[in-house]
Structure 1
């Protein structure tokens, strides 16, 4: 911790604030926090450090939206998510810190690219039971892998829920339960792989008040800020952060 500069602490604080906002009002925005943490901390340690802050944010999301979840959707996603989590854990067990940084960068860029492409093309998902099963398998496994390796499943799962045309409250409630369950499930993997360190826990203790304050502020500003403008800013900063990690 003593090696962190003032600028590094500012970046971590901004990342923690983004986590609080993403959980309370702007799902998917946490990819910016992933880039900031990975730019400041060793890549593997950043994954474990940010996980604990995400769980704190999950508590606020559940308090606000816990009654609006679509449980059938969560059950449909569960098998594929488990496969993705295991695949991500295996990758982390053998990958070097440099490879984890590159993978985080590639995942962030890929998620942004797919998001923008789908919006530009106005993609309409298929319908019917088979289409739902295929979508759940693809998005669930990718979401499990990206959340295990980089805590970057927010945009992936947001696209899945948007494609399903979830009402706003059902979207927020299902997302809240999904990430709360997944993030707690990741804890044993992260501890076993050495991703959660004493130094990381100390950093989290310092940043928890920032997450809490940002989550409360997020509840207040929900509906008062232009979603389109915020998304553009987050996407731009995420791309910059990902390119920095890649090179």
Structure 2
């Protein structure tokens, strides 16, 4: 066992920890779905709620890298609709998050993701052009995204469906999601520190050693995304979203 900042970790645990950091870096660079795959991996090392607190600073560091690279492409008109509802969802998640059993939460998450995939396909092929711009759609997406983000850092697929429904070009999609999650993940930090007590100085120091792995993941993600055309990227996100839902069911 290796002792790091009061954490006793095996070599296998450290491998998983750095692999999670690479996956998160890839996710924030546009390879959405990798973040959801990282959640059960980190939980296998630290447990459910503690892992969410350890993952949050990693997410914030990766968010900063994503914003630095894609910030010019953000569509703020969508973000202004989402942020108030996401705040509501985050506060709701803080209040009820502790009382949701892990198995029930996984089922709820998988159902939400599958439903949003169905909605996205309906929007894309049913030509319901008025629905994505509706206030209720932004409210539902923002609230659900804030809630699932707070409870398990699992809002990536939910928000991916919303932004895909807006038919954003590839770079606009990545830039807008990067800003959304950087703001919301930073907003969540006080709740983890003072309400859930899942972020401590020791956990922050542990997270800081993951920064090189995050950067490697971000670089890999940027390379992958550069080689995907807009239409191909849309189908890639759909496939990763469905895969994430399946993994949640099997977890």
Q: CA deviation at 1:44?
A: 1.1
Give ranges in structure 2 of 5+ residues lacking alignment. Answer: none
Within a 5 Å distance, the mapping from 1:182-201 to structure 2 comes to 182-192=184-194, 193-201=196-204
Within a 5 Å distance, the mapping from 1:48-197 to structure 2 comes to 48-92=53-97, 94-95=98-99, 99=101, 101-118=102-119, 124=126, 126-128=128-130, 132-192=134-194, 193-197=196-200
- Of 218, 222, 228 in structure 2, the residue corresponding to residue 219 of structure 1 is 222
Conservation of the 8 A alpha-carbon contact between 1:124 and 1:163: no
Conservation of the 8 A alpha-carbon contact between 1:144 and 1:153: yes
Q: CA deviation at 1:147?
A: 0.5
C-alpha distance in 2, partners of 1:194/1:212? 27
Q: Deviations over 1:41-71 (max 9, x none)?
A: 1211111111100111111111111111111
SS of 1:25's partner is: coil
Give ranges in structure 1 of 5+ residues lacking alignment. Answer: none
- Of 5, 14, 17 in structure 2, the residue corresponding to residue 12 of structure 1 is 17
C-alpha distance in 2, partners of 1:142/1:128? 20
170-179 or 24-33, larger mean C-alpha shift: 24-33
C-alpha distance 83-6 of structure 1, shift in aligned 2 (>3 A): same
Large movers: runs of 4+ above 6 Å:
none
Conservation of the 8 A alpha-carbon contact between 1:17 and 1:214: yes
Q: CA deviation at 1:174?
A: 1.0
C-alpha distance in 2, partners of 1:232/1:62? 24
Question: TM-score if structure 2 supplies the norm length?
Answer: 0.83
Q: Aligned residues, how many?
A: 240
Conservation of the 8 A alpha-carbon contact between 1:125 and 1:163: no
C-alpha distance in 2, partners of 1:81/1:54? 17
C-alpha distance in 1, partners of 2:216/2:29? 11
Q: Deviations over 1:109-132 (max 9, x none)?
A: 224423554466655474448952
C-alpha distance in 2, partners of 1:40/1:124? 43
